[in-house]
Amino acid sequence: MSDIIKRRNSRQVSVGDVKIGGDAPITVQSMLNAKTVDVEACIKQASELRAVGCDLVRLAVPDEKSAYAFGEIAKRTGLPLIADVHYNYKLAHLALDNGAKKIRMNPGNMQDFSQIKPLADRMRDMGVPVRVGVNGGSLDKRFKGMNEVDALVESALECANVFESAGMRDIVVAIKSSDTMTNVEANRKLASVCDYPLHIGVTEAGTFRTGLIKSAIGIGTLLKEGIGDTIRVSLSTNVLEEVLAGKKILQTLGIRKNAVEVVACPTCARTEIDVEALANKVELLTANVKKPLTISILGCPLNGIGEGENSDLGIAGGKEKSVILKDGKIFKTVNSKDLMIEFEKLLKEKLK
């Protein structure tokens, strides 16, 4: 399917050893919601994100203390971290001192541009890219009254130009509106007038359910048109869900092929196990597996065995005894209390 998606040509930037744009695979990113000053909590959350396949992790750097904590987290995790500093030059320099591999700035909110040049010079010399852009809610007053799509595009290009004219080329641009279709329109327009790699997502997308739908449509539509080099699904829930959702969007579009597809039956009056809990567990367990496996989670042995015949692995769960499927056939019947242990054993074998 991805063969028919022709990616837009964009320039490439490097965030440590992770590339964004050009012919690099589309990356999935997320942002920690632990306080940056809580180094241990951040390290834990960043490792959990990496374990489910997050390519890039961003942290807010709202003050100096956070910048030093950022340095500690970068050192101890060894990850190429992105510092979110909004519009404070001093914090941007401090983040660079502390190992930031990309900096998110918001020049639209800056009052004084005189400090951009030394910052841009330094970032260029260090090979650290900047991400600039606009959110619908933070548009400068000058753009008020304008058609929102045009205002977002113009404002984003203006922000990018602040760094470009200061001599930087490694610039990622993001436009985010909480209105899904405005977001799509604005990114289409932006994509047609520049070669900056684009970070796409729907901002303030909402609750888990609403955010998933808005992001799947908003991000998915753009990716299907070849637009977007790095994505973030913004959700007001556990950050791991952002990564799982982002990866699922790429997988559904056929852009990421080497990934596990967990299918689960819709449940019915015959259901004997908690299908949703089990499917969630298996999804987490296999989130970072880079093999195109289909795993079926079915709620009863009676029909489940037949329904799992097209899967590489499967579970047809029962109250007392459950059936584990391999290559569409019964592999083993186990006591339901041992199901996950047995399933994990088989999964490990399959992944060898």
Tell me which residues touch ligand SF4 (CB under 6 A).
265-268, 270-271, 298-300, 303-304, 307
**Shortest distance, position 184 Cβ to ligand SF4, whole Å:** 35
Helix (H) or strand (E) holding 191: helix 180-193
In whole angstroms, the minimum distance from the beta carbon of 287 to ligand SF4 comes to: 23
Three-state DSSP at 78 gives: coil
Smaller CB separation from ligand SF4, 225 or 261:
261
Q: Please say which residue, 33 or 303, places its beta carbon nearer to ligand SF4.
A: 303
Of 292 and 306, CB closest to ligand SF4? 306
Q: Closest distance between ligand SF4 and the C-beta of residue 267, in Å?
A: 5
Output 138 or 271, the one with its CB closest to ligand SF4. Answer: 271
Q: Which helix (H) or strand (E) holds 315?
A: strand 313-316
Cβ proximity to ligand SF4: between 243 and 325 the closer is 325
Query: E strands, 249-311, where?
Result: 261-264, 294-298
CA distances in angstroms from 133 to 24, 32, 169, 171, listed in the order given: 21, 20, 15, 10
Looking at 9-80, which runs of residues are DSSP E strands? 13-15, 18-20, 27-31, 56-60
* CB-CB contact of 290 with 256 (8 Å): no
Task: Say what angle helices 148-164 and 116-126 make with each other, to 10 degrees.
Answer: 70
Rounded to the nearest 10 degrees, what angle do helices 239-252 and 39-51 cross at? Answer: 20
Which lies closer to ligand SF4 via its Cβ, residue 40 or residue 276?
Answer: 276
Cα-Cα end-to-end distance for the chain: 27
Give burial (CB, 10 Å; 0-12/13-18/19+) of 144: exposed
Query: Closest CB to ligand SF4 among 270 and 329?
Result: 270
Tokens coding 105: 């700035």
* Residue number with CB closer to ligand SF4 (198 or 315): 315
User: Whole-number minimum distance, CB 338 to ligand SF4, in Å?
Assistant: 20
**Closest distance to ligand SF4 from the beta carbon of 230 (Å):** 37
Kindly state the smallest distance separating residue 316's Cβ from ligand SF4, in Å. Answer: 7
Cβ 175 vs Cβ 134: under 8 Å: yes
Q: Are 105 and 138 in contact (CB under 8 A)?
A: no
CB of 193 or CB of 269, closer to ligand SF4:
269
CA 62 to CA 237: how far, in whole Å? 21
CB of 301 to ligand SF4, least distance (A): 8
State the nearest-atom distance from the C-beta of 273 to ligand SF4, in Å: 8
Distances (CA, A) of 5 to 191, 259, 290: 15, 18, 21
Token code pair at residue 104 = 């998110």
Distance of closest approach, residue 335 Cβ to ligand SF4, in angstroms: 19
